[in-house]
Structure 1
Amino acid sequence: MTNDPDLVSVPPPGCPAHTDHASPVPLYGPRYAADPGLVFDRLRRSGPVAPVELAPGVHAKLVTGYYAALGVLRSPQMFSKDPRRWRALAEGEVPPDSPVIPMMGYRPNALFADGTAHTRLRQAITDSLDRVDPHALRGYAERSADTLIDRFAPRGEAELLAGYAGVLPLLIFNRLFGLDDSDSDRLVAALAKMFEGGAGAEEGDALFGRYVQDLVALKRARPGQDMTSWLMSHPSQLTDEEMLHQCTLLIAAGTEPVQNLIGNALRLLLADDRFAGSLSGGSMSIDAALDEVLWLDPPMANYAVHYPLRDVDLGGVRLKEGEPVVVSLAAANTDPALTHAMQRSGNRAHLAFSAGPHTCPARDAARLIAAVAIERLMDRVPDVELAVPVNELQWRPGPFHRALTTLPVRFTPIQIDETSGDSSWNLAPSAWIRPAATSTPRPPDSATPARRRRWSFLAEWWRGR
């Protein structure tokens, strides 16, 4: 048993928290996306845990209290991460084609594993991430950011999500895992559909699966100095299926959330008087802006799904064995029980990267990429400003992420010296990633799929459309 009061406290008789009859609040659609804080305030009336609907017919409990969230995240002896324990799904109450399945369905990866299985898979990930030189990664990110800025700088206007924040992490992770830059457009289309949790989620899941299959098959045949090859050569001896799913986890977690972090931070910088005006003359730093976004507008608003191993009380609410318990990282961070001092700049006790044994292992790299993206934009385009009032910006619907639909800006056009050449992608892998031995190539479990027609997003962007 745990001594955490949030896990054992029981309300007095007659308290509404004893009941489980409150109507679940939907976390999908434009109403929630427009003002999640209003929804969280409503949910808090039921205590630190409340019933929600993640998609039509998909019910869960949402943890909105900071200390209750820590109780879940730090109690693997009471809560499992394995979706095979999801009772409603196993009993057919949740359809297998539900739009949340791509984000919640079981995969043999570190995110959905417990105990020794989790330790083994996570060790392969952390050891491989440790091979990346952060100083060289910064340099690569800077060059990548400059390449993107060069594309829109002469126009005096840009859509910073489609042309910058939404592309930079994809280029970096695509290259880090050993694929060419031209493969990044497949990630754009697949991940956008998956994270939105809408009608296209199943298609996005399939697209992403094919992308990763191609990646693993390529690296089995031609290993190199990249994350994929390092995972293959790790002493944990990952199977082909495990390789597919570790890469799926790392790429998905390293792209869409980082895109959202960059976009949300740029929105804050451009709209808040503490930062706005002339960005270089703002009174608060980029680090402060990132801290504030990670506290108040984290890129993954609700996730960290857990399943009680047995019936348990959490903050006075009865949780049933096998029901999804979703931690609202955004609501926990804005819990009124926290003092303002907790959320001040420099305090990184937020839950944006989760906590406990499943804390994000790439949080430092994510923050580095986001900081570089903002620094380079501020440096290169110092008079950038929003092209529309901030209250006209819209948020993408979905129960999990916190992401803008667009971020249009304008600025004084900048002339680019095209004679200097574009060296952003000429950096050899050995210049920024320490070498590693790779395993002997072996055939993949299944044949490499035929080459498919690429999505046009990056091609159009590259041509300046």
Structure 2
Amino acid sequence: MTALSPGHPDQQSRVPLYGEEFTARPEEVYSRLRARGPIVPVLLAPDVPAMLVVDYDTALQVLRSPHVFVKDSRRWQDTAPPDTPVLPMMSWRPNTLYADGERHARLRPPVENSLTAVKPAQLRRFVQSSAINLIQGFTGRGHADLLGEYAAQLPLLVLQQMFGCPAEIAQDMVAAIAALWDGTDPQLANQYLETSVADLVRYKRANPGDDVTTRMIEHPHGLDDDELVHQLIITMGAGAEPLGNWIANALYLLLTEHRVADAVATGSVALDEALDDVLWRFTPLTNYAITYPRHALHLGQVALAADEPVVISMAAINTDPSLHPGGQVPAGNRAHLAFSAGAHTCPASRPARLIATVALETLLDYVPEVELDDQQPLQWRPGPFHRALTALPVRFPAVTTLAEPATGGSECPHRSAR
């Protein structure tokens, strides 16, 4: 592993961001970490040390100092255990996420410009039609898994349309992306992901259209096929897994907290604002925005070794009580770090927000009387990088015909007494 400077934390002092305790009670782990200071030694996996930033101002300092903290992970990668489950999520790729300086300036515009060109009205139609198709598949039963049957599937269907992607290719992509986030058989998942995205590039070169993939192919910055594959991997990876979990976590919040559900039902808080509440408290991308110090240095009173991962804990920062003196986040506050900050701020935040908002509106309009199924306890998926349920079982009055909603506005679901 990377040589550490004198006094650098040993393995025993590092807090693991994996295992049953972290998965079940991450808030308690983050609270202990914040008590130790702004940057804390952790383990992302066995034998994968990192430094976790749990302080808002320190995170902004790291994210806004690309001359000191770089995204290129190759020097770290050369020292990482080859079989660690987090390697595929941290391995260098020739895309904008791992690029610095001039290379980043060349690779980011094809992604940003291609996403910006998606018209909001067109995207809304994609989401609504896909959402209604999914809802029609379970309303007759009176029960559903709103994660597996709705939140996880909806981004897949929307991305297929946005990227001009055939269904069989998109399904392979999303399955591989989920396996990478979970760290299950990561090498095989990574191989399947690259193969399926390469299939998409070949398909769109032969069948261009009015879609994100074609616009990236035709962008004047002239990306080669390898760059296109890896640009699409990060764009679709960020658009499928975290977005599906954002939608699911928002439904979880509405179904479990009367305060939020009632505020949305009465119109005092818009769904868009409730989605920000989710990003503050249940952000789907919990620990990421990874950078690597160019050289050994001290940040504040903390020694950082060259090339050791410096991970931003959006979850620990966003839930820091010192950021919310009144105990609650004011409605509409978007100062969270869920989309990162600095030069690598997520370029897809606007379309992602629109997709999530329309997904909630449509579900709550067509299935207004939904509540958690208490017979099936909720569980969270393991992994250091995300906060994601394994399932979101619900029940509601069954209907055989999906009628137009009468209100034209979103009703909030009934809540169980969980």
TM-score, normalised with respect to structure 1? 0.82
Aligned match of 1:90 in 68, 74, 78?
A: 78
Give the Cα–Cα distance (whole angstroms) in 2 for the partners of residues 357 and 417 of structure 1. 45
Aligned partner of 1:20: which letter? P
- Inter-partner Cα distance in structure 2 for 1:400 and 1:38: 16
The structure-2 alpha-carbon separation of the partners of 1:126 and 1:188, relative to structure 1 and needing over 3 Å to count, comes to: closer
Partner deviation per Cα, 1:416-459 (whole Å, 9 max, x = no partner): 269x9xxxxxxxxxxxxxxxxxxxxxxxxxxxxxxxxxxxxxxx
Instruction: From the superposition, tell whether residues 349 and 277 of structure 1 become closer, same or farther in structure 2 (CA, over 3 Å).
Output: closer
1:243 to 2:228 alignment: yes
Paired residue type of 1:234? H
SS at match of 2:49: strand
Alpha-carbon separation, structure 1, partners of 2:230 and 2:115: 16
Asked whether the equivalents of residues 94 and 230 of structure 2 are also in contact (C-alpha less than 8 Å), the reply is yes
CA distance, structure 2, for counterparts of residue 146 and residue 404 of structure 1: 23
Q: Is the 8 A contact 1:274 1:282 kept in 2?
A: no
Match of 2:370 among 384, 409, 427: 384
2:19 corresponding residue in structure 1: 29
Give me the TM-score of the superposition, normalised by structure 2. Answer: 0.90
Unmatched segments (≥5 aa) in structure 2? 1-6, 405-418
Paired position in structure 1 for 2:153: 167
In 2, Cα distance between equivalents of 1:40 and 1:397: 16
Instruction: Tell me how far apart the structure 2 counterparts of residues 278 and 151 of structure 1 sit (CA, whole Å).
Output: 29
Superimposed CA distance per residue, residues 35-57 of structure 1 (whole angstroms, 9 cap, x where no aligned partner): 11111111123201111111111
- Matching residue of 1:45: 35
Does the Cα contact within 8 Å between 1:44 and 1:64 map onto a contact in 2?
yes
Q: What amino acid maps onto 2:26 in structure 1?
A: P
Distance in structure 2 (CA, Å) of the matches to 1:294 and 1:166: 17
Write the mapping of 1:271-286 to structure 2, written as runs, cut at 5 A.
Answer: 271-276=256-261, 280-281=265-266, 284-286=269-271
Partner of 1:184: 170
| Distance (Å, rounded) in 1 between the aligned partners of 2:28 and 2:384 | 15
Instruction: For 1:314 and 1:170, locate their aligned partners in 2 and report how far apart those are by CA, in whole Å.
Output: 41
* Alpha-carbon contact 1:159-1:409 (below 8 Å) kept: yes
1:75 corresponds to which residue?
65
Q: In the alignment, which residue of structure 2 is the partner of 1:456? A: none
User: Closer, same or farther in 2 for the Cα pair 1:183/1:278, shift >3 Å?
Assistant: farther
State the match for 2:44 in structure 1.
Answer: 54
Q: Which of 344, 360, 363 is residue 374 of structure 1 equivalent to?
A: 360
202-211 vs 67-76, which deviates more? 202-211
User: Take 1:411 and 1:278, find their aligned partners in 2: how far apart are those partners?
Assistant: 21
Aligned to 2:55: 65
Q: SS of 2:150's equivalent?
A: helix
3-state SS in 2 of match to 1:274: helix
Q: Are the counterparts in 2 of residues 286 and 374 from structure 1 also a CA contact under 8 Å?
A: yes
The code of the aligned residue for 1:90 comes to D
Question: Does the 8 Å contact 1:78/1:309 carry over to 2?
Answer: yes
The Cα of 1:160 is off from its aligned counterpart by 0.5
- Preserved CA contact (<8 Å) 2:15 2:43: yes
8 Å contact 1:160–1:408 — kept in the other structure?
yes
Shift of 1:30: 2.5
- 1:446 aligns with none
List alignment gaps of at least 5 residues for structure 1.
1-17, 421-465
CA distance in 2, matches of 1:195, 1:135: 31
Q: Secondary structure at the match of 2:290?
A: strand
Query: Percent of counterpart pairs with the same letter?
Result: 50
**What is aligned with 1:151?**
137
Superimposed CA distance per residue, residues 268-327 of structure 1 (whole angstroms, 9 cap, x where no aligned partner): 001101144797457543123211111111110000000011222223110011111010
For residues 208 and 90 of structure 1, the distance between their equivalents in structure 2, rounded to whole angstroms, comes to 22
Select the residue among 215, 229, 245 that pairs with 1:260: 245
How many residues were matched structurally? 397
Coordinate RMSD, CA, aligned: 2.1
The corresponding residue for 2:398 is 413
Pick 1 or 2: higher relative contact order, CA cutoff 8 A, min separation 6. Answer: 1
Match of 2:304 in 1: 319
In the TM superposition, what is the alpha-carbon distance from 1:127 to its structure 2 partner?
A: 1.2
- AA aligned to 2:50 is A
Max Rg structure: 1
- Aligned to 1:68, the other structure's residue is in SS state helix
**C-alpha distance in 1 between matches for 2:168 and 2:398:** 27
Q: Is the 8 A contact 2:263 2:269 kept in 1?
A: no
